[in-house]
Structure 1
Amino acid sequence: MVDADGLSMWAVRQGEGPDVFLIAGLSDPAEAWQAQLDGLADRYRVTAFDNRGAGRTELSDEPLSVPMMADDAVALLRALGISSAHVAGFSGGSVIAQELALRHPDAVRSLVLMSTFARPDAYFRSMTGFWHWMVDQAPSERAMLEAFFLWVYTPRAHADGLVDRFVEETLAFPHPQSPEAFHRQLEAFEKHETLDRLAAITVPTLVLSGEIDIATPPRFGRAVAERIPRARFEILPGEAHQPFQEVPDVFNTRVDAFWREVDGR
């Protein structure tokens, strides 16, 4: 546990080298990044953490927002003595990363935005509206996870048993997210709006989208990349919302090459 400007936050750090700072998405604790903590620690000092309201980091009483979570992230960086880092975020974590780069640009060496968006559309709001209903109405936590994971993993992962493994791991996790925290995090992400501000991001940026991602389709990632000066946009063929978990070697190799290029400039 780390005292980050008065908020007690859970953080995990592995490896030595240039700092990499990983920001998880809706509901996910630091363990969502385990394949990156393990797979990149031979070249980087990798830090992952629990956002406010997820895992072991408490949910406070004040209204939750993406800017607040971005400020939490920079407070954690400072508490850990990290002046700047390669920042990578997925889904909700990617929008926190956008705000972090906008609000605290000196803390960000580069950006990797996986499964990202800058402005929710009608489809997105309908989808997240169903997620709110699903958390409250699902007959069990297992049923909720099985339904939710339809939105984020490939048919391949459902067929080969990977999703079943993730369900069991989530059910066994000793720090589950409360329904209240799920609703409040999701409401914060639904209000995210940076499309008209992204041009202010000046750090090297790589935007990645899964080809068959139905939660944040590639059109969202392309719109983000088009607004950030000199950002690169790439589609990962055959992948869905969370390729960093499904094909971690592919993801790790791509971001490593990007960070090596940035550090070599």
Structure 2
Amino acid sequence: MYAEVNGLNLYYETHGEGTPLILLHGGLGSGEMFAATLPLFAEHHRVILPDLQGHGRTADIDRPLSIPAMADDIAALIDHLGLQKPDVVGFSLGGGVALLLAMRHPDKVGRVVSGSAGIRRSATYKEILDQQGQVGAAAAEFMKETPMYELYQRVAPRPEDFPRLLDKIGQAMAQDFDYTEEVKKISVPTQIVAADADMCPPSHFVEVFGLLDGGHRDGGWMGEGRPKGGHALAILPGLTHYNVVDSPLFAAVALDFVDKKD
């Protein structure tokens, strides 16, 4: 299905029944990125699975790829579908979009899970930043053997746009960002999730939890010392940025958090 939002013909799928839950995929992927865990999410939820701008079955439009703009797209999709404060779970790029939704549209979302998404560019390991600096149209030929290329060629409305997507992703990743001050103001219950061997060190995600009032005191027998906003942190063992979203652990901690209704 498609929704016309913000000048974008945004593709989305729905799976399962129950309270609404939006899943947001990572960069150079699509909703198919959740194939391994979708049955777990859809068991008790109506899962909405969009393809973000320029990804999967959503064709690109004439604007830069930016996480704030993508967050606004999902907010518009929520309005388009008439959803009442759906929970949002995102991974990597989608984790950033989920976090920006919590910042920019707190009235439109319920609980938010931000997976494997740092809040400032400098937190990413230098070797990863160096690799990201090589992403662009010139790399398209070298990526023809990758799952990302195979997916794009199979589902994209304009498969020939793959070099353009690489250019835009590369430009987006080169932009500096720091959401430290914005994170402090998040009012939506938010869970920070990461692999223990992610693109940023575990200490970064602990720092983000600290900005959300976490880790400053004992939690107390009755949980009275937990973060005041209902926030949480999960560092998942034995995983990396490249397989955490496939792990049942990711689905388990995300579902445990979103299903803790006040």
TM-score range, shorter chain: 0.7 to 0.9
For 2:235, the equivalent position in structure 1 comes to 235
The correspondence of residues 147-158 of structure 1 with structure 2, limited to 5 A, is none
SS in 2 for 1:109: coil
- CA drift at 1:72: 0.7
Q: CA RMSD in A?
A: 2.4
For 2:181, the equivalent position in structure 1 comes to 196
Q: Distance between the aligned counterparts of 1:40 and 1:93, measured in 2?
A: 16
SS in 1 for 2:75: helix
Q: Distance between the aligned counterparts of 2:76 and 2:10, measured in 1?
A: 10
Label 1:244 to 1:48 Cα distance change in 2 as closer, same or farther (>3 A).
Answer: farther
For 2:208, the equivalent position in structure 1 comes to 224
Q: Distance between the aligned counterparts of 1:142 and 1:17, measured in 2?
A: 39
Corresponding position: 1:180 with 2:179: no
For 2:218, the equivalent position in structure 1 comes to none
For 2:142, the equivalent position in structure 1 comes to 140
- CA drift at 1:12: 0.8
Corresponding position: 1:105 with 2:89: no
The answer (yes or no) to whether the contact 2:140–2:166 under 8 Å persists in 1 is no
In structure 2, give the amino acid aligned to 1:219. S
For 1:47, the equivalent position in structure 2 comes to 48
Where does the alignment leave 5 or more consecutive residues of structure 2 unmatched? 214-226
- CA drift at 1:99: 1.2
- CA drift at 1:246: 3.2
SS in 1 for 2:194: strand
For 1:246, the equivalent position in structure 2 comes to 246
Q: Distance between the aligned counterparts of 2:108 and 2:7, measured in 1?
A: 19
Moved over 4 A (4+): 122-126, 166-169
In structure 2, give the amino acid aligned to 1:173. R
- CA drift at 1:137: 4.0
For 1:11, the equivalent position in structure 2 comes to 12
The answer (yes or no) to whether the contact 1:209–1:217 under 8 Å persists in 2 is no
SS in 2 for 1:11: strand
The answer (yes or no) to whether the contact 1:115–1:242 under 8 Å persists in 2 is no
Label 1:132 to 1:53 Cα distance change in 2 as closer, same or farther (>3 A).
Answer: farther
Label 1:47 to 1:123 Cα distance change in 2 as closer, same or farther (>3 A).
Answer: closer
- CA drift at 1:199: 1.3
Q: How many pairs does the alignment contain?
A: 240
SS in 2 for 1:222: helix
The answer (yes or no) to whether the contact 2:31–2:50 under 8 Å persists in 1 is yes
Match of 2:190 among 205, 211, 225: 205
- CA drift at 1:116: 1.5
For 1:162, the equivalent position in structure 2 comes to none
Q: Distance between the aligned counterparts of 2:149 and 2:68, measured in 1?
A: 33
- CA drift at 1:80: 1.3
Q: Distance between the aligned counterparts of 1:192 and 1:96, measured in 2?
A: 13
Deviations 1:37-63 (A, max 9, x none): 322212001111111111121222223
For 2:224, the equivalent position in structure 1 comes to none
The correspondence of residues 24-173 of structure 1 with structure 2, limited to 5 A, is 24-121=25-122, 124=125, 127-133=128-134, 135=136, 136-137=138-139, 139-143=141-145, 145=146, 170=151, 173=154
Q: Distance between the aligned counterparts of 2:148 and 2:105, measured in 1?
A: 36
Label 1:94 to 1:75 Cα distance change in 2 as closer, same or farther (>3 A).
Answer: same
Task: Return the structure number with greater helix share.
Answer: 1
SS in 2 for 1:197: helix
SS in 1 for 2:36: helix
The answer (yes or no) to whether the contact 1:10–1:50 under 8 Å persists in 2 is yes
Q: TM-score, normalised by structure 2?
A: 0.81
- CA drift at 1:200: 1.2
The answer (yes or no) to whether the contact 1:113–1:206 under 8 Å persists in 2 is yes
Q: TM-score, normalised by structure 1?
A: 0.80
